[in-house]
Amino acid sequence: MKVISPECELIDSYFQHNQIEEQIERCGRVCYKSEAKIAPGSANSFIKAIISRGHESVLEMAQIHLELKLSSDTPLQRFLENIPRFFTVDRVDPEDKGCILLSANPRAFRDAARAFPSLKLVKAVMRVLTEHFPRLFEDLAPKHGWPQQDGVTVRLVPVQDMEGMTPLVFRRHRTVLFNIITNRAVTHELVRHRIASYLQESQRYCRYSEDKFGSEVTFVEPCFYEKGSPEYQIWQEAMELTEAKYLELLKTSSPQAARNVLPNSCKTEIMVHATIEEWQHIIRLRTSAAADPAMQQTMRLVLGQLQTAFPQFFPKNSAA
């Protein structure tokens, strides 16, 4: 039995280097704790397998930003009339109404291509995305490819261009990825937040009797009880008994069966991908005095890293 404290890591290097596919793989492998399989080029086969199995929630863990130049508003109006899910759209140049910033995750773009393949804006966007990210989008292309669309110009927005956007536009489009290690009670509440994307360590597939887990179950130390107190001793004895019963069940059962005895105190790892605007909302709610103390403990760790990385949006001595 191992006992740890909550921790978190803001992962921004993939975004800074436009490594969308690598970021998706890094997040996806948390589910099965197979990060050791990450190697140069391994994202290619990982993404291909994810798409072939229809597990497209994994594709939500990155964001693509596009600048659209439109000769008329009609393509955008047709696009917005269909109420596409999980897209953020803004006019970024007040002097050029035809200049649009469009952002979404790869899954949202794939959903749009399947649902509205005849829309002019969708065809123009998919042509560019398939060219730049073939592994993410080539399976959706028509036989002769996505045709060029007159009156619509699409380009990927470089990272450096994001920095020059107004604060309002930046916070709505810029996403931030966190790797959070906490207990399962916290993640049960965290995943209720919308709009955000999550991938979590799977007790269904992770077999904690294996060497890579130290052949033991890891628990998160409760913030409610002082170490050495009678209450803490009761908690510790309960966790020791739980671990013993879980490991015993694994001798004759699968992890998905044996996990039924595991408690909320179990350590879990979760990837959380959300815009700065959504992180502000999460922090505001989950660091307040009304929040669960364990949630407050974890989210204050997140807030500290957000304050360092984005001080203009998360000022010191402020929850958001």
Query: pLDDT digits over 155-213, tens only?
Result: 999 998 998 899 999 999 999 999 999 999 999 999 999 889 999 999 999 999 999 99
pLDDT digits (tens, 9 = 90+) for 122-154: 999 999 999 999 999 999 999 999 999 999 999
Both tokens assigned to 251: 């001798």
Is 204 among the catalytic positions?
A: no
Distance between CA 320 and CA 307 in Å, rounded? 9
Segment 108-119 shows an average pLDDT of 96
Residue 84 confidence (pLDDT) above 80: no
Helix, strand, coil abundance in the chain, percent, nearest 5: 45, 20, 35
Lowest mean pLDDT among 7-16, 72-81, 118-127, 284-293: 72-81
Strand boundaries in 111-174, DSSP class E: 152-156
DSSP 277-301: HHHHHHHHHHTSTTS-HHHHHHHHH
| For residue 92, pLDDT beyond 90 | no
Calculated CA dihedral for residues 186, 188, 190, 193, nearest 10 degrees: -160
Model pLDDT, residue 238: 98
Domains assigned to the chain:
2-12+174-309 (3.30.1360.170), 63-157 (3.30.70)
pLDDT reported for residue 235 = 98
SS3 100: strand
- Say what the pLDDT of residue 85 is: 78
Write out pLDDT tens, residues 242-299: 999 999 999 999 999 999 999 999 999 999 999 999 999 999 999 999 999 999 999 9
With 0.85 as the threshold, say if the pTM is over it.
yes
Residues near 138 by beta carbon (within 8 Å), at least 6 away in sequence: 130
pLDDT at 82: 87
Give the model's pLDDT for residue 318: 58
Reported as a pLDDT band with limits 50, 70 and 90, residue 94 is confident
Q: Is the pLDDT of residue 320 over 70?
A: no
Coil, strand or helix at 235:
helix
What mean pLDDT value characterizes the chain?
Answer: 95
Question: Cis bond leading into 50, ω under 30°?
Answer: no
Strand ranges (E), the chain? 2-4, 7-11, 64-70, 88-91, 99-104, 152-156, 175-183, 197-200, 218-220, 267-275
Could you give the percent of the chain with pLDDT greater than 70?
A: 99
pLDDT at 115: 94
Distance of CA 320 to the CA centre of its chain: 20
Q: Please report the pLDDT score of residue 119 as a whole number.
A: 95
- pLDDT band at residue 93 under the 50/70/90 scheme: confident
Count of CB atoms within 10 A of residue 209's CB?
A: 17
Catalytic residue among 110, 171, 172, 286: 286
**49 falls in which pLDDT band (50, 70, 90)?**
very high
